[in-house]
Amino acid sequence: MLPKALLVFLLCVLGALAVGQGKPLVDVPAQAQEPNVAAQPVRPALTVLFDKSKPVAADDLRRRLKNLVGVDLDDKAPKQTGTDVHWLTAHKGGLIGSLAGHGFRVHFEAKPIELTEKTCGHLDPDAIAAMKKHTANAVIELQGSFDADSKVDDYEVLGAIACGLLRRGALAISAREFGTLERVDADMRESLLESPVLDVLRPVEESTLVVFLSKPRELTEQSLQKAMAKEFPKLFGKGGAGFVVVREGMTVVGLNDAVVVLTFNPKAKIDPESLGEMRVRKAIKDHQVMLHMWTSGAIDAKAERQRQQHLARIAAALWQDDCLALSWYCNLAIVPAHTDLLKQLRADDPVAKTLDVGVVPVVEAVDEKAMEKAIAMARKTWPEAWKKSQGGAQVSAKFPFPTRAGSVEHIWVSVAKVAGDQVQGTIGNEPVDIEGVELGSEVTCKLSELSDWIYFENGEMIGGFTVKVLQKQAAADKKK
């Protein structure tokens, strides 16, 4: 995943690249262009969290600021004032000074602050875990008069001071304007100096989708443009605002007001044997590369849903036989490839659809007696399912297939036709270890070997007798 601070830089650079291609700049949401102006302006301030308590001496900060912004600061307050007067000195355990006519105060505290859902709920678990390690903080606050009109300039000055404090051990930074924390990464100092401070620290929510691939894949601008044009004909057609950029191993897809970054990462460090679902286990075992798709934006449910739709549609556009499974960062469940997955990715709520119970788990049964009873019940009630199928319901039936290892694997088949003891249909889930049969293959099975049947009515699973046994088993395993 890319650092959030880098996205600010990407928006500028990629906008310029889009213009160079004769396309409009990426639209930045209005709230990301103009800071929120409250009825009662809040005094500008930045807070930096550190892993250890070590206040910065005045002379050290003066030296750092000279290197960062090229300004010489006097070591005491001069008699005259003005935008060309710069000074910094120690004061009551902290620091006070003025830069470009903006007075400021730096207060150090050797204790942690409270981390709440409001301050860091928009961040990923890794970022929050890092922030919890802080033991001290520094508050950089504007001194003197202020108003809403000068807020942007005030924060630029405070941002420069903060850059002087962002040494090794700085974990997070917060703008009082938003009351939220952002993780300090390797690019934060550069971003604060080169981009508007309030834009860099504006809270955004990250959305990520990971696709597990069986082999490395090269994404070229030509192939991506073709795939995106098929998935988003208006955006990538003649005169459309969509664009694709491939630069130094990083791929970017622009969709009007969204910028989606695509990167390839090494094989995930997950032990396949720790996974109960057999198709997921096989996908993790066989994958060689992960395709990460990442974007970010405003913190609200509607914006999050739209970002997820963008990620899902791009995944659908790029989906090929080398795609074994996917995972949403907001859930972490691994979803194996199956017949309805592309349809689910193009749904209004792709996260809910891809994680839907319709994706029946394939796991090894432990309670053999319970499974035998479930199979007997499925065979006894099959006429009910076949009647529903003739009425238009999409019924799937489960049948045994011999594996390469000499055992038996039960696979779901989407039923198309039944004639006597013969059931014709297509394989409905990716087999784990069956030779010559794959997702979508047409097969003919014996009705006498049926081990389960299933269909959905108003979102409710009907049938699925062996599924219920396996779900009960999975729930018990989870409690252990």
Structure confidence by residue, pLDDT tens digits, 407-459? 888 889 999 999 999 999 999 877 878 888 888 899 999 999 999 999 988 87
The 10 Å CB-count burial string (b at 16+, else e) for 338-354 is bbbbeebbbeeebbebb
For residue 36, pLDDT over 60 is answered with no
pLDDT at residue number 19: 39
pLDDT at residue number 401: 93
The first and second tokens of residue 5, run together, are: 């601070």
- What is the DSSP track for 369-391? HHHHHHHHHHHHHHHHHHHHHHT
Q: What is the pTM assigned to this prediction?
A: 0.62
pLDDT at residue number 362: 63
Q: Which of 155, 167, 198 is nearest to 50 (CA)?
A: 167
**Per DSSP, what are the bridge partners of residue 210?**
292, 327
Torsion of CA 348, 352, 354, 359, to 10 degrees: -130
| N-term to C-term CA, the chain | 32
**Per DSSP, what are the bridge partners of residue 160?**
none
How far is Cα 119 from Cα 132, in angstroms, rounded to an integer? 12
In residues, how long is the chain? 480
Q: Which residue has the higher pLDDT, 343 or 53?
A: 343
pLDDT in tens, 132-154: 999 999 999 999 888 888 999 99
How far is Cα 399 from Cα 415, in angstroms, rounded to an integer? 11
How far is Cα 214 from Cα 321, in angstroms, rounded to an integer? 9
> Can you list the positions of beta strands (E) in 299-394?
323-328, 334-336
Cα–Cα distance list, 113 to 50, 200, 202, 272 (Å)? 11, 22, 20, 40
**Single-letter residue type at 321:** D
For residue 13, pLDDT over 90 is answered with no
For residue 357, pLDDT over 80 is answered with no
Q: Are 318 and 227 in contact (CB under 8 A)?
A: yes
How far is Cα 168 from Cα 174, in angstroms, rounded to an integer? 17
Query: What phi, psi does 320 have (nearest 5°)?
Result: -140, -175
The first and second tokens of residue 352, run together, are: 């809910």
Q: Domain spans of the chain?
A: 4-26+41-203, 206-354, 368-479
Q: Estimate the share of the chain in helix, then strand, then coil, as percent rounded to the nearest 5.
A: 35, 30, 35
pLDDT band at 360 (very low <50, low <70, confident <90, very high): low
